[in-house]
Structure 1
Amino acid sequence: MAVFGALASLGAFGAMMPASAQAATAAHVYNPHLRPVSQISDTRMRIDTPAGAAEFALYVSRDWAQPQPEVTRAIIVIHGKLRNADTYFHSAEQARDAARAQGADTAGTLLIAPQFLATLDFAGRDEPADLLRWHENGWMAGENAVAPAPVSSYAVLDAIVARLADRTRFPNLRHVIFAGHSGGGQVVQRYAVAARETGALARDGIDVRYVVSSPSSYAYFDATRPEPVDANACPGFDDWKYGMQKRPAYLADRTPAQLEAAYVKRRVQYLVGGNDNDPRQKALDQSCPAEAQGPQRVARAQAYVHYLQARHPEGIDQRLDVVPGVGHNGARMLTSACALAAMYDTPGCTP
């Protein structure tokens, strides 16, 4: 009845609304991730681009404008489709506290939660014109911001990496971990494929890891899928972000083979909740390109890891852990024993 009432209200006022407003309202009825965020961080970082300066919003646990010699570990947690970076920052704090309770030395931990905003987040807000914003979920696939400069969301992560690689600011940094759940897990997995700037960390002997929790889909390196796909019946199944065709500009300068060669050398921990196996879960990507990877998240995670293992029988430093008893819940996944082991080297994650 509640859904019917909402649709009836939309229909009753539809004739009085401009077409663009009708579309926006319909999107809000069907897509809660396309509603304005409740909170935008007041903390900003500047990026200088050929098109001019821009800023992006983020949460950070220390004043990283100042030298931080005590920082030894940086954890960059990526929000999901709701762009609720404040919620994910809080989950990162909970994970840090849980790791401390298990005996991990967390005193030198820096927490960072960038916030990728959509244009609709600026409605009714007095935000500066130089604050980066993307069209809907374009940030998830590394697309360029629509304003104020065409900056890829992956270039934003590069800027964070560049800040962390500055030894005058972080002379004792030893570990950098990217972690994300659901939509954020998609970003982390694709950034592990695409990343350019993490080599600056590796050259200084800094350990870089990627924790990919329960994404809806993965980036495949060729047209292979768990089952054969009819490209005519499922157009776009091999396009980015699902495959290597039609890659955005950030990745277009490298071949799929080059991207894969870099990816399989990276340290990736895949996580999925054992109960995250509902093929109709409301946040699950149910498009044809995603369905080609499997019917639900557990199946898709297992299929992707098997795919990589088959292509690289010599072995890769990547593993999948299924977290028992957990459904699609970001806080529980990021504070699970396996997530803590991946981020803080704590014991207790049983393969």
Structure 2
Amino acid sequence: MFSKPASQLAFAALWIALAATHAAQAAADASASRQNAPVAPVAHVADQRLSVRADGGGTLPLYADRNIDAAARDVTHVFIIVHGTLRNADNYFDVGGQMLAASGASAKENMIVAPQFPTTRDLRTFAIRDNTLAWSEGGWKAGAPARRPSPVSSFAALDALLEHFDDRRLYPALSMVTVIGHSAGAQVVQRYAVAGRAEATLTRDGIRVRYVVANPSSYLYFDDQRPVASGAFTTVDTQACPRALEWKYGMADAPAYVATQDSTSLATRYATRDVVYLLGTDDVDPHTHFIDRSCAAMAQGPYRLARGLAYFDYLKQRYPAGLNQRVVEVPGVGHDARRMLTSECSVAALFDRTMPSACPTRSSD
């Protein structure tokens, strides 16, 4: 393993302190309970609908900068942006527009799409009684089946969204789809990058797929190894932390969408997928922005930046060859989707431009 820079060494003392006292664990448990508490219903339900046919079917709300069912012959790149815990897809759609503006890229050739994963409470609030899909508060984040009108996994809904763009009658020039998530949305995108089925179809038809994982609370590990403050990895104590190996932190007890696939094949395939981890260097507060402080999450590190850096070290050790992924650190940015995605570091990663020297980057090399 390469030597640790100051940014990684700095979190070691905090990590030790967090693990050292019973009071810290009690605070973690209380924070975890607050994280799982219901959040307010959404302010808006998206105005477009995508038909999802899997598992009984339904429709997925989404925002897009044009009618998704109309021909868009000039579009070469579609950006799909997944919202966070608040399910505020409208805000993330706006962030996508700001990202595109910051890049200076053509709005004619680049399309912004923001799917929304509403809860049953959201639909009751707006008296929506049609076949719009709705999940539980935490279910959509983990690929669980919808609560209504049929048990469609949120991952199957993402499959349908990606496959929608694999229609040369509507998108004849499309060459790339980038799936972006920030915070809870990044949790979705990282797990979907492991288990998602649509990429094979798009790749076959000449469309590249990239996954951008920005500041998630936790990651999916493939075995029982977890980081410790020294920078090494050790076997997690499942007696003290029984959920550490369970989905969505590990592969055990995964939802049906994942469990019906071979876990070894998923892990091997994940290393080959094009994944960029965007990490804000100031996302170091262990008590903010719905951060997951459960025992299983704390086993991955004390805060989001630490967890992301440790996870990439884990992947490099697990896959010494053939890892098609990289980390881009965004200096001076904390847990802020707009600042993350409009930064020069993110724009360079998203649009395949030369990375500025101010943006620390780690690759599998």
- TM-score (ref. length: structure 2): 0.84
Q: Does 1:311 align with 2:318?
A: yes
Change in Cα spacing, 1:335 to 1:65, as seen in structure 2 (3 Å) is same
- Other-structure match for 2:270: 263
Q: Which runs of 5+ in 2 are unaligned?
A: 1-31, 229-234
Q: Hey, what's the Cα distance between the residues in 2 that align with 1:203 and 1:49?
A: 21
Q: Which amino acid aligns with 2:125?
A: G
Change in Cα spacing, 1:340 to 1:32, as seen in structure 2 (3 Å) is farther
Q: Hey, what's the Cα distance between the residues in 2 that align with 1:246 and 1:60?
A: 35
Q: Hey, what's the Cα distance between the residues in 1 that align with 2:159 and 2:55?
A: 16
Q: CA deviation at 1:294?
A: 0.7
Q: Which amino acid aligns with 1:77?
A: I
Q: CA deviation at 1:49?
A: 3.8
- Other-structure match for 1:214: 215
Contact 1:213/1:272 (CA < 8 Å) preserved in 2?
A: yes
Q: Does 1:126 align with 2:131?
A: no
Q: Which amino acid aligns with 1:211?
A: V
Mapping for residues 135-174 of structure 1, pairs under 5 Å: 135-174=136-175
Q: CA deviation at 1:276?
A: 0.5
Identity of counterpart residues, as a percentage?
A: 45
- Other-structure match for 1:116: 117
Q: Does 1:253 align with 2:254?
A: no
Q: Hey, what's the Cα distance between the residues in 2 that align with 1:240 and 1:274?
A: 27
Q: CA deviation at 1:348?
A: 4.0
User: Which residue of 289, 295, 298 maps to 1:291?
Assistant: 298
- Other-structure match for 2:83: 79
- Other-structure match for 1:17: none
Contact 2:54/2:156 (CA < 8 Å) preserved in 1?
A: no
**Number of positions where the alignment pairs a residue of Structure 1 with one of Structure 2:** 321
- TM-score (ref. length: structure 1): 0.87
- Other-structure match for 1:322: 329
User: Which residue of 25, 44, 47 maps to 2:52?
Assistant: 47
- Other-structure match for 2:200: 199
User: Secondary structure of the residue that 1:231 maps to in structure 2?
Assistant: coil
- Other-structure match for 2:72: 68
User: Secondary structure of the residue that 2:243 maps to in structure 1?
Assistant: coil
Q: Hey, what's the Cα distance between the residues in 1 that align with 2:37 and 2:184?
A: 14
- Other-structure match for 2:16: none
Change in Cα spacing, 1:106 to 1:43, as seen in structure 2 (3 Å) is closer
Contact 1:33/1:81 (CA < 8 Å) preserved in 2?
A: no
Change in Cα spacing, 1:240 to 1:347, as seen in structure 2 (3 Å) is same
Q: Hey, what's the Cα distance between the residues in 1 that align with 2:239 and 2:33?
A: 31
Q: Which amino acid aligns with 1:251?
A: V
Q: CA deviation at 1:31?
A: 6.5
Give CA-to-partner distance per residue, 1:38-61, whole Å, 9 cap, x none.
Answer: 11112111122453x411110011
Q: Which runs of 5+ in 1 are unaligned?
A: 1-26
User: Secondary structure of the residue that 1:45 maps to in structure 2?
Assistant: strand
User: Secondary structure of the residue that 2:103 maps to in structure 1?
Assistant: helix
Contact 1:43/1:59 (CA < 8 Å) preserved in 2?
A: yes
Q: Which amino acid aligns with 1:325?
A: G
